């Protein structure tokens, strides 16, 4: 059995450990409920046949293990077809970041641990007040 050291982002995770920190999403309905429950959510769109996806999966799992305050999930494009169609995912691997039920970023391609950690820091530092204010103005304009 492989072990992981949370302070070492390069360490390997077993599939059991990865499953403990990364949720599998199979549908739009499951995604909707999951996003409602988590202020910051990161979804990896992946496929079993995608070699870069398989290389990136342990990177995502290692970073997820280091950041329990962030919800991480994986959506297989061949299983979660309604989710893939809704978000028009055309390339894998792709990461979607969602804060307060607002999609804040979509990044395509595999990353190294330090790159994913950098993106995660940016997503966490984002001032959602400006974004929420924008959407509040848009809603008010649409009603008037």
Tokens of 79: 């299983």
Residues labelled catalytic: 50, 53
How are strands ordered across the β-sheet holding 102-108? Answer: 22-25, 71-76, 40-46, 94-99, 102-108
Residue indicated by tokens 């995502």 = 60
Tokens of 9: 């982002």
């Amino acid at each position: 059995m492989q072990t992981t050291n949370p302070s070492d982002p390069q360490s390997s995770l077993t599939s059991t450990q990865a499953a403990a920190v990364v949720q599998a999403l199979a549908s739009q309905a499951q995604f909707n409920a999951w996003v409602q429950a988590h202020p910051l959510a990161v979804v990896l769109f992946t496929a079993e046949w995608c070699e870069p996806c398989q290389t990136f999966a342990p990177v995502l799992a290692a970073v997820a293990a280091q950041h329990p305050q962030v919800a991480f999930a994986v959506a297989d494009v061949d299983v979660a077809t309604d989710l893939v169609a809704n978000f028009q995912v055309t390339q894998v691997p792709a990461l979607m970041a969602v804060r307060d039920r607002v999609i804040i970023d979509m990044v395509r391609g595999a990353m190294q641990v330090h790159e994913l950690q950098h993106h995660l820091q940016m997503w966490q530092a984002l001032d959602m007040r400006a974004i929420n204010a924008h959407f509040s103005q848009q809603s008010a304009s649409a009603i008037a």
